[in-house]
Amino acid sequence: IAGITQAPTSQILAAGRRMTLRCTQDMRHNAMYWYRQDLGLGLRLIHYSNTAGTTGKGEVPDGYSVSRANTDDFPLTLASAVPSQTSVYFCASSDSGLDGGELFFGEGSRLTVL
């Protein structure tokens, strides 16, 4: 079934450790996104990528980095995790046509930083 695959689904991490959340899509969408979802704050955009080789900052980029080496993969890295990065992380993708379009989401990665 076509869609977005995220890994891991859940992770507990010690503060200060490095962590990479993986995201792969098989829909050949040009654009990809990382959001975090926190109770009472909703979904907030961390980083996005319009096409392979390009990335952009969203609303809450500090402490996170991304790369887009190819169309299908968009990993999110926390270089040195802090407790405030405890959240549920969602990867999404969309066509990047000028008419806009819906985003398709993965099932999420729940990260706890202690």
Interacting residues with other proteins (CB under 8 A): 4, 31, 33, 35, 40-45, 48, 50, 56, 58, 90, 92, 94-96, 98-108
C-alpha to C-alpha distance for 95 and 88, rounded to whole angstroms: 24
Least distance in angstroms from the C-beta of 82 to other proteins: 23
Extract the tokens encoding 112. 């706890």
Nearer to other proteins, 24 or 80 (CB): 24
Least distance in angstroms from the C-beta of 113 to other proteins: 20
Nearest to 87 by CA among 34, 48, 50: 34
C-alpha to C-alpha distance for 72 and 26, rounded to whole angstroms: 6
Nearer to other proteins, 8 or 16 (CB): 8
Contacts of residue 20, defined as CB under 8 A and 6 or more positions apart, other chains included, come to 75, 76, 77, 78
Nearest to 36 by CA among 110, 113, 114: 110
Nearer to other proteins, 14 or 40 (CB): 40
Nearer to other proteins, 62 or 99 (CB): 99
Least distance in angstroms from the C-beta of 7 to other proteins: 14
